[in-house]
Structure 1
Amino acid sequence: MKFKVLLIEDNESSMRVLKRVIGKANLDVVYASSLTQAKVIFESTAPETYLCAVVDYTLPDAPEGQAIDYAIESFIPVIVITDRSDEYVREHILSKNVIDYIPKQNTQIFEYLSRLLARLEKNKTIGVLVVDDSTQSRNSMVSLLSRHNFITYSATTAQQGLIMLREHPEIKLMITNEYMPDMSGVALTVEARKLYGKDELSIIGISASRSSSLLAKFIKSGANDYLNKPYCHEEFFCRIVQNVEYIEQIDTIRKAANTDYLTGLPNRRHFFNKAESSIRRGLDCMTMALIDLDHFKSINDNFGHDYGDLVLKEVARLINRHFAKFHVSRFGGEEFCIFLPNVNHDDALEFVESFRLAVSKKVIKSADIRHSCTVSIGVTSQLTGKIETMLTLADEHLYAAKAKGRNQTVGDN
């Protein structure tokens, strides 16, 4: 679903720029120049269709932030923009349940807003766990996180927190108080690190203690950050976003290292890691399939390398569709590999035959080129215990399929 942003701004120049910024974020803009107009527009739409509202603090019919209250009461998260920079306005805005406020004097306002809108959409898939035995403190943090669209989880004890970490892999950040009845926050951090490394889960320690050594204890025990109570609204969110983005950046690097640049499929190294991990867990049966495009050199020679790349991409899409539950890889050139854990030989042959037929029926189009291609496949289900040995056997069967005329599957006798 494409979300909307309710923009309430009476300055025509600011409105035009803000509409462009919101549009570039791939969001629909619903515009109003006054609170009265916003009420009329909003009556005909559902609040869940809005990602947020971007509201000017001062409007002709709402000079003291009344439009902010209206949006919040309508269950729309609010970002406030204002050309007033006095401390009273800042405190007045932050006393409300807003996402953030942006002074118009800030030259980075539009860049910051663009990043904030993207962040709000991403947060809908990110879990944050708050572990704190204080109801007031816990609820306060959960409320702040909910404004930013995070999936929130809360626990009153360290043991409950560990259970939630195991049950909810979408949790990418844990905030833990130091003083709890069953285990300290530092001890919880140590236990959490046994489950997830720093590249998988960010941890922020939090405490009202002014002990300078507590920060060091948290960091040395595996925490990424530390926050003192009481904290201001803005500092809290800066720390949250910084730690979530750290996990995302690591994930982006990992994906780049593990992904074939052309097809988007996992690369050979990642495939080996996943397949070997499956074998170590113990399998009753397993199957390895090697897939090779027939006459691929002639495709490049006759139609050019750009079309050859398109063929590889289309075959990769079919592999993703047919083998979504299994480990797949582009092994290099025109060769692909599939590892099917807990799939016996007969069932595996049905899977790969269905794929082979789908490839042969696929017409790959580009400009004035209309061409079909075929694949040869070698399959083995021999329980050798070693990936390399299974690949050798599958490769022998693939060679046999080529020798028999191509466009066929050869498996174990």
Structure 2
Amino acid sequence: MFMQQNVLVIENSHTSLEIVSKLVRKAGLNPIGARSLMEARARFSQMMPESCLCAIVAYNLPDAPHGEAADATIAAYIPTIVVTDSVHPPTREHILTKDVVDYIPKENAQNYDYLSRLLARLEKNKSTGVIVVSTHRKSRKNMLSMLHKHNFVVFDCPTASDAMQHLANNKHIRLVITDYAIPDMTGTEFVSTLRKAFAKEQLAIMGIAGGENTLLSALFIKSGANDFIHRPYSHEEFLCRVMQNVEYIESVEAIRRAANSDYLTGLPNRRHFFYTVTVQQSSLPDSHALALIDLDHFKSINDTYGHDAGDEVLKVVASVIEEQFPDEVIARFGGEEFCIYFPETHIDDVIKLLNTFRETLADTIIRFNGETLSVTCSVGVSTLNTQNIEAMLSNADKALYEVKRQGRNQVLKACTE
């Protein structure tokens, strides 16, 4: 069951409380406001503890002038972000002695932008992996602690080989942080090895080293690292660099998804379909099939109920295709036409799967603006024994044309193979 994620906001300034609450809502979270520590305790007592993603706490409150409110939320096991009017070093140092996620000075609007990004990250990070490779025990433990506080899925790796194993088994890893001195190879050799398997747009790598060697940063970057940080580093620098590198990978992924996806249904588009089948699967298997699906009388839905109704039908059809064919290569080819590629699948199984889909779709009720709609489909299938996907598409199209001639709502294998 979905549980609303709350953020406890403790701020005695009405203006600051409104600003922070607005940022919380912008992040898709629910702010629970309090103007004092006493009020915050009362509010928290009425909440389910697990519903609280984090607390944003003013360092100075009338009944908690020296960070006592942060102590209270930390003691309640709530991840805590401290907001402060002061940027004086003693205040910063006092805040960072506490087990806080981060602290945000109020000195300018950009710091509130950072807070907004941080709120979004705390939820995203629960499914974002980060590898730390270092033999420097104190530094490694410090990095792991900060990453855990930001909800990252963290992998503590003493060697490059351990890191490579985790990368092979976990597709959600977005960042590798590696020291220069590691047991089985140098950090720059490790980076170079990683770059043979992962492009900069797929995996961010951050080098780290201490000592007097100022050339290490250049060596890391030349070997393929996205970034470098010199030890000793500040709490803020480390977290900002981590966030920037992870956001870079996510931004590239978002652009790639947009380029490869159909804008309406979210399914892969025709271009991505051909890339997946002909490039990623460089050698097509001997036993394979391709199906073209066309919705029956779709134009009449648009003419009768409007194009918004037609769009809703296409979205529902796409969701049924995704559900019925989780392991196949699927795409919307345009209009009311969809395509499915079946690698390593016998034709009898293909026909059975497609007929199950066809029947499921016919029984699916689609509701739009009080109207109840339904749709059927015609399917042409090709099993042409060829490495040419274009020839298979042509064959499937011929079978689809014959299905329509015979009356629609059927699955038909091309007879010219």
Would the TM-score normalized by the shorter structure come out above 0.5? yes
In the alignment, structure 1 residue 7 sits paired with structure 2 residue 9? yes
User: One-letter code of the match for 1:265?
Assistant: L
**So what's the TM-score if we normalise by structure 2?**
0.92
User: Matched residues in 2 for 1:366 and 1:22: separation?
Assistant: 33
Counterpart for residue 379 of structure 1: 381
For 2:80, which of 78, 90, 111 is the aligned residue?
Answer: 78
| Post-superposition CA distance 1:264-285 (Å, at most 9, x none) | 1101111122223564466463
CA displacement at 1:208 relative to structure 2: 0.2
Judge conservation of contact 2:11–2:61 (CA < 8 Å) in 1: yes
Judge conservation of contact 1:7–1:54 (CA < 8 Å) in 2: yes
Deviates more, 1:146-155 or 1:30-39: 30-39
Deviates more, 1:12-21 or 1:232-241: 12-21
Counterpart for residue 306 of structure 2: 304
CA displacement at 1:44 relative to structure 2: 5.5
CA displacement at 1:28 relative to structure 2: 2.2
CA displacement at 1:380 relative to structure 2: 2.6
CA displacement at 1:339 relative to structure 2: 1.1
CA displacement at 1:37 relative to structure 2: 3.6
In the alignment, structure 1 residue 337 sits paired with structure 2 residue 346? no
Give secondary structure in 1 for the equivalent of 2:290.
strand
Counterpart for residue 350 of structure 1: 352
Give secondary structure in 2 for the equivalent of 1:212.
coil
Judge conservation of contact 2:284–2:387 (CA < 8 Å) in 1: no
CA displacement at 1:180 relative to structure 2: 1.5
For 1:65, which of 60, 67, 77 is the aligned residue?
Answer: 67
User: One-letter code of the match for 2:380?
Assistant: G
For 2:150, which of 114, 124, 148 is the aligned residue?
Answer: 148
Judge conservation of contact 1:178–1:184 (CA < 8 Å) in 2: yes
Deviates more, 1:215-224 or 1:362-371: 362-371
Aligned length: 413
In structure 2, relative to structure 1, the CA distance for the partners of 1:44 and 1:370 (3 Å cut) is closer
CA displacement at 1:81 relative to structure 2: 1.0
For structure 1, which runs of at least 5 residues remain unmatched after alignment?
Answer: none
Counterpart for residue 328 of structure 2: 326
For 2:254, which of 252, 255, 272 is the aligned residue?
Answer: 252
In structure 2, relative to structure 1, the CA distance for the partners of 1:41 and 1:300 (3 Å cut) is closer
User: Matched residues in 1 for 2:301 and 2:51: separation?
Assistant: 47
For 1:408, which of 369, 389, 410 is the aligned residue?
Answer: 410
User: Matched residues in 1 for 2:343 and 2:96: separation?
Assistant: 53
Deviates more, 1:156-165 or 1:23-32: 23-32
In structure 2, relative to structure 1, the CA distance for the partners of 1:395 and 1:282 (3 Å cut) is closer
User: Matched residues in 2 for 1:299 and 1:37: separation?
Assistant: 56
In structure 2, relative to structure 1, the CA distance for the partners of 1:40 and 1:138 (3 Å cut) is same
Counterpart for residue 395 of structure 1: 397
User: Matched residues in 1 for 2:160 and 2:369: separation?
Assistant: 60
Judge conservation of contact 1:278–1:341 (CA < 8 Å) in 2: no
Judge conservation of contact 2:283–2:387 (CA < 8 Å) in 1: no
Counterpart for residue 189 of structure 2: 187
User: Matched residues in 1 for 2:302 and 2:44: separation?
Assistant: 56
Give secondary structure in 1 for the equivalent of 2:195.
helix
Judge conservation of contact 1:210–1:228 (CA < 8 Å) in 2: no
CA displacement at 1:246 relative to structure 2: 0.5
Deviates more, 1:142-151 or 1:26-35: 26-35
Question: 1:104-253, aligned counterparts within 5 Å?
Answer: 104-253=106-255
User: One-letter code of the match for 2:327?
Assistant: K
In structure 2, relative to structure 1, the CA distance for the partners of 1:137 and 1:349 (3 Å cut) is same
CA displacement at 1:45 relative to structure 2: 4.7
Give secondary structure in 2 for the equivalent of 1:324.
coil
Flag as ranges the 4+ runs of structure 1 deviating above 6 A.
Answer: none
User: One-letter code of the match for 1:237?
Assistant: L
Judge conservation of contact 2:130–2:176 (CA < 8 Å) in 1: yes
User: One-letter code of the match for 1:252?
Assistant: A
CA displacement at 1:389 relative to structure 2: 2.3
Deviates more, 1:324-333 or 1:123-132: 324-333
CA displacement at 1:293 relative to structure 2: 1.4
Give secondary structure in 1 for the equivalent of 2:109.
coil
User: One-letter code of the match for 1:70?
Assistant: A
User: Matched residues in 2 for 1:180 and 1:393: separation?
Assistant: 56
Deviates more, 1:357-366 or 1:268-277: 357-366
Judge conservation of contact 2:398–2:414 (CA < 8 Å) in 1: no
CA displacement at 1:412 relative to structure 2: 5.0
CA displacement at 1:368 relative to structure 2: 5.7
User: Matched residues in 2 for 1:68 and 1:368: separation?
Assistant: 51
User: One-letter code of the match for 1:103?
Assistant: P
CA displacement at 1:291 relative to structure 2: 0.2
